[in-house]
Every structure is written in structure tokens, then in C-alpha cells.
Chains A and B, each alone.
Chain A
Amino acid sequence: MAERSFLDPPPRRGAALVRRRRSILPGGGGASLLAALLVLLALAALPSAAALLDEPFLIRFFTRIMVMAIAAMSLDLILGFGGMVSLGHAAFVGIGAYAVGILSWHATNAEPLLSWPVAIQGTESAFVAWPAAVLAAALAALAIGLVSLRTSGVFFIMITLAFAQMLYFFFIALQKYGGEDGLQLMERSSLGPVDLGDRITFYYVVLVVLACCLGFAARLVRSRFGMVLRGCRQNERRLLAIGIPTTRYKLAAFVIAGAMGGLAGVLLANSQSFVSPADMAWTRSGEILVMVILGGMGTLVGPILGAAAYLLLELVIGSYTTHWQVIFGPALIAVVLFAKRGLYGLLVPGGAGRNGGGDG
């Protein structure tokens, strides 16, 4: 792999350690695999259940859950495994969403996106727009990570928040693409023979993307790269002392998480056929963070459960009162104070969950 040279392989003994510990890694190997399969199977069965219950609304709703789950999972990569508390993750989601939206706008209006130095036309093709969106999010994450990772602790929290806010204002100022009102997508991206306009097809496409992200993230955290990343969270100083350039690893993880967040944004823009600065407001970043914690950080399945729990709570409490946050706020405080391992911790006892402490 080309990135090996950049990512300085850890010493050989580390590799042996990984092999030995593979089975007991996050969430206790077997248990986490089982949990992941169960969650994916349940999601795969949902459209049939929705048809049986005659509740087509559920498909739309669970599409949204899966999109937010991808965003939350990408945040968990850096938060739960790398110990980086980023409060600006919605920015990457927003960049991915806006990239799709802007390319589509130019295709609809038949106006080139760029005429100099190279001519770039807008497009609605998923094969072009989606990778471009992910790349844009990754580049933004690279730039933000380069500056933010010079700091740590509470400074890191605030600088990621500030960068996200900067991008938020940037998109508000883009009057051409709707400014504060947002940008309407004329139609969903075209993905070859697959018709994304169909609700159920789109649902399964999102599910496949979610499964791929989960598989990729699971492999990543079990790799040597992932071991260094988890080491950064537990004791970065010790890693530095044995000669591992931790900042490079953290930056790489930050970029990967940003790219995955961008992918979530791509799906978000497609699912709601709309993108606006509200999708990248700082409260949205807070919500993604809350999803990770509700589900259980440091577990990859947790964020999926967390996203589902958060949106379900919003739906259920919201159906009784429009002031659902007056109940949710204290509930969140209670979860943080008393149930730190999240839903995953309740469902899979003895897993890794939030062990090893945070940054404090």
C-alpha cells in the first residue's frame, strides 16, 4: 500500500500484539461482529416490515437514521478511538452535501462550474459527483486538521467548532447557491442503472454504503494504524516516547473521518433533495456528538444505535410536545453522568465501551 511509507509502520512487536489481541478488540470481537450483523439484518428487513405495517414513512425515516449513523460512525473513529473531541463534524457532512448540490445545480442550469484553467461542467452522475464530494470533504479535513491538531484538549474542541462556524458562514454568504435559504436539488444523483429516485432502492443503497463504512471502519480500528490511533487516546506521550509520530496518524484519521462524513453528506443531500447551511450548524455537530455518546463511543455499532435512538426519541417525544428538547436536554445530562457506556454498553455487557477514560 502506498500509504505505508507515510504512516511509518509501528515496530514489529506491535504487529505481534495486534495478532494476539485481535479477538478481544473493541466490544469483544465476537460480540461486536454479532451486534453489527444483527443491526444490519434488522435494517435490511425494515422495508418489508414497513410494507406489512403499511407505514411507508418508516422507510424515509430509517434512511435518515442510516445517513446520520454514517456521520456519527465517522466521528466515533476520531472521538472514540483517537480521543479527538471534534465539535465541528457537521461541517464535513455539509461540504459533502453542498458538493453534490452545487454540481447538480450547474448541471441543471447548464452553466459550467469552472471555465478556467480547465473547463468543469456540473454533473448529476453519482460516479463523478460522489467521489468529488468525498474528496472535497477530505481536503477540508486535511486543512482543518493541520491547524487543529497543533492544539489539544479544550483548545481542540473550540478550534474545530470555530472552523465549522467559518464554513457555515461561508455557505450562508454564497448567495448564488441559495445563501441562508439553501439549495434545492432538482433530482437525486444518477447511479447507472440503479434508480435512486425510488424510495426503497435508495434505502438499500444507503444501507450498502453504511455496511461498507462499518466494514471499513472495523478493519481500520483493528489494523496497526488503528492500534496507534487507540494508543493516542490512552497515552499519547508514551507513543511519542517510543518514536511514533502520533500527529501524522491523528491527521490521517481526521481526514478519513472527514471523508466519511462527506459521504454521509452526499447521502443526506440526496435523501432530502435539499441542502442548507442549517445542515452544518454547530448544533448539528453537537447532535452528531450526542448520537455517538448515546450509542456508546469507541464501539462502531454504537453510533448506529445512537443515531436511531436520537431520531426516534425526537420523533416519539416530539409527537407529544413540540418542546421535546426540554425533556431531551436533562435526559442527555443523565446519560452522560450515569450511563457513560451508552446503549451499546447496556446491550453488550462487558464490552470495551468507554474504558480507558477520556482526555481529562
Chain B
Amino acid sequence: MNVLLLIEQALNGVQLGVMLFLMAAGLTLVFGIMNLINLAHGSLYMLGAFFAATLQQWTGSFLIALVLAIPATALVGLAIEVVTLRTLYTRDHLDQVLCTFGLILFLNELTRIVWGPLPLRATMPAALAGTVEILPGVAYPSFRLAIIATGLFVALFLWLLIAKTRIGMLIRAGASDRMMIGALGVDIKSLCTLVFALGAALAGLAGMMAGPLLAVQVGMGDGVLILTLVVIVIGGIGSIRGAFVAALLIGVIDTFGRVMLPPALGQMCIYVLMAGILFWRPRGLFPAAHHG
């Protein structure tokens, strides 16, 4: 493998990593504050992709589709939170796993009813369909570069939101002691709904950007969900910083594993990595507050 190919694969890895970060950020925030394990997070990713692909077909513009699909996914997330998940915060993890598993079955099937069994086609915006010569002799698809830029921008936005704003302060406080900030008069219920909708929007965004690269089809969220779970487990559940580091790590290792190792080992290597990390650090790389 020469250096140029190495750079290209590294960028592919980073691109997968930032997508995983978009997914993991929402999931890990939801877990951090509400102590909720939400398997249906992958369904929001799928819905985001379907919304964007459909809107793109209607409007003919990727950008307009993106701008409309993000709030649409957030709204769906909000509805799901209010109707079902809200009652699950005080339940044990088993109930949460089962209910959100039920949600996956429901949403997957509903999507199949609405959009039919065939995959949708999502196309890249014309402006980003070409390649950019990032180094002499290395042409890289500009759409993938745009994904990386978006992911890094979202990471920066989340950091600013959580570290510098009042909402972020409440989110951090909620993660460390939910009861206490409730007692201090913060409307914890609305805060949870807001965080969930934010997570849904990020998952949807990941799905929208994945649309033109992969097939937009029912069940597309299931595979990415499991990768996301691996990311937040390695990063330490509840930690955004951990999610960022772990997402990039998983993205790069998974990409190189598939290229350089035989197929069996390539797909297994991230799970081996996860087992290894959990063996040495059972609470992940950046353990957040007290969650069990």
C-alpha cells in the first residue's frame, strides 16, 4: 500500500468516524441525562435518509431537502419521546431495550409501508459530485470532504453548546444529578425532550449524508446502530468527548481493517478492539459520571 492510498483510506476512515460521531453524540447525551438506552436511534438515522431522499425528489435540491429534513426528523424524535420513551426513564434497562426494540420493528415496518420495499435513490448535489485534489496526485470526492467538514463543525457546535451556554450547563448538570436540578426548579422534562430532539436531528443528519453514499433502504439504521453502540461503549457512556475520540478511532480502524485484513478479521476487528478495551477499562476510555 503506497502513501497516497494510505491518505485516501485515512480520510475514508475519518469520514466514517464523523458520521458515527453524529450518531453517537445524540445517543450518549440521551443516555447521560435520561439514563435511557435507545435502540431506536438507528431508526431516526433511517428516517432522516428517507425524508431527505424524498424531499430531494420533490424539490430537486439537496440543500433544501437537508434544511427541511433535519427539523422533520427532530419532530419525529420529539413525538417518539413524548409518546413512549418518556415513560421509560424510570424503568430498568431491560424494559428500555424491549420497548425501543419494539419501536424499531414498528418504524422499520412503517417505513416499508410508506415507501415500499425498494431502496430509494439519493443523489449528491451537483456542486459536490466531483473530486478535489487535496495533495498532488490525490483526488478525493468532495462530497466526502463535505461530510468531514460538517461533522467537525457539528462537533465544534456541540462543544460550544455544552461548554459555553446556559442550556449546555443544564445538560451537564442533568447528567451529573438529574433529581437535584429538578429540585432546583429546572424543567427537566422539557430539557429531556429538547436533548432527545437534538439527538434525533443529529442522527437524521447522519442518515441524510449517508444517503447518497449508501442505499436508502429499510433496515439501514440497524447496522449503524450497532457501530454507534460500540462507539459509545468504548468512549464511555455519557461522554461527548469520549464519543468523538472513539468514533474517529472506530472509523479509522474499521476502514483500515476492511482494506488490509482478510474479510473475516476485517469486520471483526472493531469488536475485538471493544472487547479488549472493556477488558482493561470496563467503563470505557472516558468514563462519565456515575452510570451503571
Of the listed stretches B7-15, B127-135, B180-188, B265-273, chain A binds B265-273
When the two chains form their complex, are residues B279 and A329 in contact, meaning their CB atoms are under 8 A apart?
no
Q: How far is the CB of A83 from chain B (nearest CB, A)?
A: 9
Give Cα distance in the complex from A283 to B222, angstroms.
Answer: 9
Interface of chain A, helix or strand or loop or mixed? helix
Most chain A CB atoms below 10 A, which of B91, B112, B282: B282
Scan residues 176-195 of chain A and give those whose CB is less than 8 A from a CB of chain B.
none
Q: How far is the CB of B262 from chain A (nearest CB, A)?
A: 8
Chain A minimum-CB-distance residue to B102:
A332
Give Cα distance in the complex from A89 to B28, angstroms.
Answer: 25
Total A-B pairs, Cβ < 8 A: 141
Residues on B with C-beta less than 8 A from A324 are 109
Scan residues 314-332 of chain A and give those whose CB is less than 8 A from a CB of chain B.
323-326, 328-332
Give Cα distance in the complex from A259 to B2, angstroms.
Answer: 47
Residues on A with C-beta less than 8 A from B37 are 154, 157-158
When the two chains form their complex, are residues B99 and A158 in contact, meaning their CB atoms are under 8 A apart?
no
Scan residues 211-236 of chain A and give those whose CB is less than 8 A from a CB of chain B.
none
Of the listed stretches A54-62, A113-121, A161-169, chain B binds A161-169
Give Cα distance in the complex from A331 to B105, angstroms.
Answer: 11
Task: Flag whether B108 is at the interface (Cβ < 8 A).
Answer: yes
Chain B minimum-CB-distance residue to A323:
B109
When the two chains form their complex, are residues A154 and B291 in contact, meaning their CB atoms are under 8 A apart?
yes
Task: Flag whether B197 is at the interface (Cβ < 8 A).
Answer: no
Give Cα distance in the complex from A244 to B21, angstroms.
Answer: 41
Q: How far is the CB of A117 from chain B (nearest CB, A)?
A: 23
Most chain A CB atoms below 10 A, which of B99, B113, B271, B284: B271
Give the size range of A's interface with the partner: 35 or more
Chain B minimum-CB-distance residue to A357:
B92
When the two chains form their complex, are residues A325 and B267 in contact, meaning their CB atoms are under 8 A apart?
no
| Additional A-B contacts beyond A161-B226, A162-B230, A326-B113 (10; CB < 8 A) | A154-B31, A155-B237, A158-B230, A162-B233, A173-B262, A329-B107, A333-B98, A358-B95, A359-B93, A359-B292
- 22 A-B pairs, CB-CB below 8 angstroms? A79-B94, A147-B279, A151-B282, A155-B237, A157-B97, A158-B229, A162-B229, A166-B271, A282-B226, A283-B222, A286-B97, A293-B94, A323-B109, A323-B113, A325-B109, A326-B113, A329-B103, A333-B103, A336-B99, A358-B95, A359-B292, A360-B91
Interface residues of B (CB under 8 A from A): 31, 37, 84, 87, 90-95, 97-99, 101-110, 112-113, 222, 226, 229-230, 233, 237, 262-264, 267-268, 271-272, 274-275, 278-279, 282-284, 291-292
